[in-house]
Structure 1
Amino acid sequence: MPTISTWYGDISESLFESFKAIRLVICDVDGVFSDGRIYLGNAGEELKAFHTRDGFGVKALLNNGIAVAVVTGRQSDIVERRMQALGVTDIFQGTTEKLAVYQQLANKYQLHDREIASIGDDVPDVVMLQHAGVGVAPQDAHPWVQQQADYITSMRGGFGAVRELSDLILLSQGHLQLQGGMSV
């Protein structure tokens, strides 16, 4: 099977071709944008850590006309603020029916499954990974989820997995640029 060499390792030519069609990236949050841990303070505050590399990847996708959405089962003001700061407008929190949201987004953007990539780390995300043209799991995703994915990132969730997906999509489409910008 012919392969394409990337910074993240070799990927099959057919997967590289699939990345070329992507017009929407749907992301879970916990375990994808974050490492999956939730920090709770004594006063009830909730904290999560987000990586600026992932933020840069999201901005790069949006700047190249590729929509980004988040679909998560938890509800968090932190997620709302972070995604709004990145320019993500499709933010679905407290979602138990991820396939329904996936289909809503496909209809909104008038896209076929082959034009959608989805990244998730746990069982509730599998339905979106299975429908998407490219289903992606972070390197530290649940093993069964990895078995369902078309691609497993070399980076862990919360440590650049979203950026890796962004880079591969933009590389395949000839839009990966390595200059300028600011951390986000």
Structure 2
Amino acid sequence: MMDTGFLSSYQDLSEDFIAKLKALELVVLDVDGVLTDGGLLYGEHGEALKRFNVKDGVALKLLPKWGVEVAVITAKDSAPLRKRMKDLSVTHFYPGCHNKKEAFQDVLKRLGKKADQTAYIGDDVIDLQVMPEVLLALCPADAHVLVKRHCHRVLLTKAGEGVAREVSDLILAARMPLETAYALAQKPAFEKQ
């Protein structure tokens, strides 16, 4: 049973788009410009720092509980990024990846999934290596214009402001009331996982 109340806030969602949300078994995300705002802060010793949105953390931990695997493919690599992925138990993590299509094929093979069961969320032209391959290509509201042209949907959320959470809510709302989906996140054990 869908969460029609939540989905109705997106006035232009087609039945086809909702059917695709229901069919998803894997969500693949970029980091910079999706999970972060794309900015880099450098510490006094030259280390790069990133700001992540805590709302995305709930999404990345909740989706697998409802049968949707999560993978992260990013061109950057850093200790803060690795720490964040470890904290969120993202095991399908491809840092420092400049051939995103190759990494995408690897994650499909490892998980036994198909591209037509997958959503990809990216913001810049390197993500166009994968976006044409998937069932749903999505991007943040402030993605590059070329990415927006090749997406199935431009999200309402800007980079670093809860993009993964919006995607997660769409997927879950296509399948059940959000109260049901988030019942797991309300349990004390959820944060400890």
Corresponding position: 1:171 with 2:137: no
**Structure 1 residue 133: Cα displacement:** 0.6
* Cα deviation digits, residues 82-124 of structure 1 (max 9, x gap): 0111110011011111001111111112222110110000000
In the alignment, which of 64, 72, 76 is matched to residue 62 of structure 1? 64
Over the residues paired in the alignment, what is the CA RMSD in angstroms?
A: 1.8
CA contact (8 A) 2:18 2:174 kept: yes
CA distance in 2, matches of 1:113, 1:67: 13
Partner of 1:27: 29
TM-score with structure 2 setting the length = 0.88
Q: Give the Cα separation in 1 of the matches to 2:169 and 2:37.
A: 20
Q: Which residue of 2 aligns with 1:6?
A: 7
| Residues 8, 73 of structure 1: alpha-carbon distance in 2 compared, 3 angstrom cutoff | farther
Partners of 2:177 and 2:74 lie apart in 1 by 28
Instruction: Tell me if the contact between 1:8 and 1:154 (Cα under 8 Å) persists in the aligned partners.
Output: no
Aligned pair count? Answer: 181
Counterpart among 83, 96, 109 of residue 111 in structure 2: 109
What SS does the aligned partner of 1:9 have? coil
Q: Please say which of residues 167-176 and 153-162 is displaced more in the overlay.
A: 167-176
Partner of 2:94: 92
Q: Distance in 2 between matches of 1:82 and 1:99?
A: 23
1 or 2, which has the higher strand percentage? 1
- Residue in 2 that maps onto 1:140: 142
Cα deviation 1:159-180 (Å, max 9, x = unaligned): 0111000111111122632441
Q: Where do 4+ consecutive residues of structure 1 move more than 2 Å?
A: 173-179, 181-184
Structure 2 gap segments, 5+ residues each? none
How far apart in 2 are the matches of 1:175 and 1:107? 32
Identity %: 33
The aligned counterpart of 1:128 is 130
Partner Cα separation in structure 2 for residue 175 and residue 26 of structure 1 = 23
- Whether the 8 Å CA contact 1:27–1:69 is kept in 2: the answer is yes
